Amino acid sequence: MKVVTGVIGNDIHVVANRLMDLSLNARGYEVFNLGVNTYLEEFFDAAVETGADILLISSLNGEAEGWSREVKMLKAGYQSLDNLIMMIGGNLSVGSGNAEDIIPRYKNYGFDLVCHQVDLNTGLDMLDSYLQEHRPS
């Protein structure tokens, strides 16, 4: 499975991104890591170019929600991305936030998997389970 990953918006927190790259590789995914400071259009362009199955976005500085509101509108412009699995995680609000409020909001923005302040390995276990359920090989 091919994964495009990176950190959205004007966000320079790079440590989790590096760990994400290593962990995805260790789990057998083919990883295309766009790194920090990545805009939505760049994620979608990369997903088209690589034929990605999954787009996995990180946000640490709390500004993801502003970008996420544009997901549905922008993604609609890329017909080949209809089956792209959309996942986001990290700090999905400013401050600690409440996952019960945050998760449905992000699902409404167009994400299939939302991990607010969930550690990487728990989140990647969720991704593996999601794939087994929705894309059994």
- Binding region for ligand B12 (CB under 6 A): 10-16, 19, 56, 58, 60-62, 87-91, 94-95, 115, 118-120, 123
Smallest separation, CB 22 to ligand B12 (Å): 11
| Residue whose C-alpha is closest to residue 64's, from 128, 11, 135 | 11
| Cβ closest to ligand B12, residue 31 vs residue 60 | 60
- Active site annotation includes 11: yes
Tokens (6 digits) for 119 = 């550690």
Largest Cα span, the chain: 39
Angle at 91 between CA 66 and CA 124, to 5 degrees: 115
Q: Tell me whether residue 41 or residue 119 sits nearer to ligand B12 (CB atom).
A: 119
Nearest distance from C-beta of residue 79 to ligand B12, angstroms: 25
Any catalytic annotation for residue 53?
no
Q: Whose Cβ is closer to ligand B12: residue 11's or residue 21's?
A: 11
DSSP 8-state class, residue 56? E
Distances (CA, A) of 56 to 42, 82, 126: 13, 15, 12
Q: Pick the catalytic residue: 13, 53, 112, 128?
A: 13
- Provide the annotated active-site residues: 11, 13
